[in-house]
Chain A
Amino acid sequence: MDKTPTLLGLMAEGHEHGYDLKHRYDQLFGAERPIAFGQIYSTIARMIRDGYIEAMGEEPGGGPDRKRYAVTAAGRDYVRRWLSSPDEPSPTLQSNLFAKTVLALLLDDDADALLDVQRHAHLARMRDLTQAKQRGSMLERLAIDHALFQIEADLRWIDVAGARLAELREEVRHG
C-alpha cells in the first residue's frame, strides 16, 4: 500500500497529530499489521520536506505527540492525483485500491469514479493479454488465461466494493 498518500489523506480528514494519525490508520487499515510510530514520524518528516504538510506549532502539554500538522495545497493535490490514477494489476493492488476507496469516501471524493478508472485500466491490460493470446500457442494461451483470471478476480472485487460503497461510507465515517 502507498503509505505516504494514505497518511496524507487521513491528515486531510482531520487527524492532525502523529498519535491520532496512527490510531486512525490502524482502525481502517491496520487490522493485520498496525503501523509503527517510527514509520509515522519518518513519513511526517518526508511530507514536510516535500512540502505536503506544515507544522502548526505545539499544543500545551508538550511532547512529540502534541505537534499539529496541516496539509498544504500541494499535499491535497498529491492525494487527489493518487486517488484518480489507476494501479497496475498486481498482488499489492488490492490493498492500495482499498486505501484509495476508503480515502475517497472520507474526503468526499468520487469513489465510483476512481473504481471506474481502475476498471478501464484492468480491461486495457486484459485486452492486451487477449490480443497476445490470439497469436499464441496453446501453452502460451493457457498461461495468459491464468493472468486473465487473476485480473478478473480483481475486477470482481471492484464490482463488489462498488456495490457496497454506501454501506462502507457509513461504516468508515461513523463506525
Chain B
Amino acid sequence: MANGIVTQGGLLIAATGLRKTFGATEALRGIDLHVERGEVLAIMGPSGSGKSTLLHCIAGVLTPDEGRVVIDGEDVTALDADARARFRLRRIGFVFQFGQLLPDLNAVDNVALPLLMSGVGRRAATTRATEWLERLGLDDQLSKVPGDMSGGQAQRVAIARALATEPAVIFADEPTGSLDSVAGENVLTSMLAAVRELGTTVVLITHDARVAAYADREVIVRDGQLSAASRGDVA
C-alpha cells in the first residue's frame, strides 16, 4: 500500500510538487506521485477533490502552475505544446467516461485513427485496429458506428483505440462510470487482461471500490492533496 522504495529502472511516472489553480480554486495543492512501470494505480477521492486535474497535469493535457512530471525519462512539463502533443500521441493512451469516439467512424476506423496520425500506413493501421478489436472481444462490431453499439461495447472500442499505439501508459477517467456493474466489470477485466500482458501502466480514476480493487494500489485525493494514508505517513 505504501509507496515503498522505487528503483529508477522501475519508475515510469514521477510527478513532484504539482500545483494548479483555476481562478480562486486551488485544485492541486502540492502533489507528489510515483507510478511504477506496469503498475495499475487507482485514484479515488470525493467529487471536486482534484482527481481529473491531477490526471490531466500528469498526462500533459494541462500544464501545472508548479511542479514537474517525468514520464519514461521525458520531462513533459519542459516540452513546448507541439512536442508535448507528439509525446502524447506516441506514448500515452486516454480513456474517458464517454463521448470520445468519433460518431461517424466505424469501430475499425476509430481505432485506426491514432495509428494513422502517428504515421502508420492505411492498410497496416486497418489490420492492427482489427486485431485490437478482436482482442477485446469485438469481432462482430468491426463495421458498426458507436451509436449502434451498447455502452460497454463502445468503451471497449475506446480501450482498443487507447491500446493500439502501444503506449507506455493509459490514463483513464471513470472508464466504467457510465456502465452498470456487470458491464463495467467485464470491460475493465478485458482491458486489464490486455495491459497486464503488454506490461502497460494504467492510471485510473474511479469512485467505485470494486473497480479500484482490480488495481495494484490506490491513492486518495482530498482537497487537492494526497491523503496521509496514501502517502504512507500513517501506520
Partner-B contacts on A (CB < 8 A):
84-85, 110, 112-113, 116-117, 119-120, 122-124, 126-127, 129-130, 134, 148, 151-152, 155, 159, 162-163
Contacts and interface: CB of A to CB of B under 8 A. Distances in A.
Contact of A148 (B46, B210, B215, B235): B210
A119 B210 contact: no
Contact of B235 (A84, A119, A124, A162): A84
A159 B46 contact: yes
Interface stretch (B80-88, B110-118, B127-135, B223-231): B223-231
Question: Which secondary structure dominates where chain B touches chain A?
Answer: mixed
A85 B46 contact: no
10 contacts: A113-B227, A116-B229, A117-B229, A117-B234, A120-B1, A122-B209, A127-B213, A127-B214, A127-B215, A152-B209
Nearest to A156: B209
Contacts of A116: 220, 222, 227-230, 234
A163 B46 contact: yes
Give the interface size bracket for B toward A. 10 to 19
Contacts of B213: 123, 126-127, 129-130, 148
Nearest to B234: A117
B209 A151 contact: yes
Given A112-B222, A116-B228, A162-B46, A123 B212 contact: yes
Given A112-B227, A120-B218, A126 B210 contact: yes
A120 B209 contact: no
Contacts of A84: 234-235
Contacts of B209: 122-123, 126, 151-152, 155
A81 to B, nearest CB: 8
Contacts of B220: 116, 119-120
A124 B234 contact: no
Contacts of A159: 46
A110 B222 CA distance: 13
A155 to B, nearest CB: 5
Nearest to A112: B222
Interface string B1-43: 1000000000000000000000000000000000000000000
A163 B47 CA distance: 11
Contacts of A130: 210, 213-214
A127 B40 CA distance: 12
A60 to B, nearest CB: 44
Nearest to B1: A120
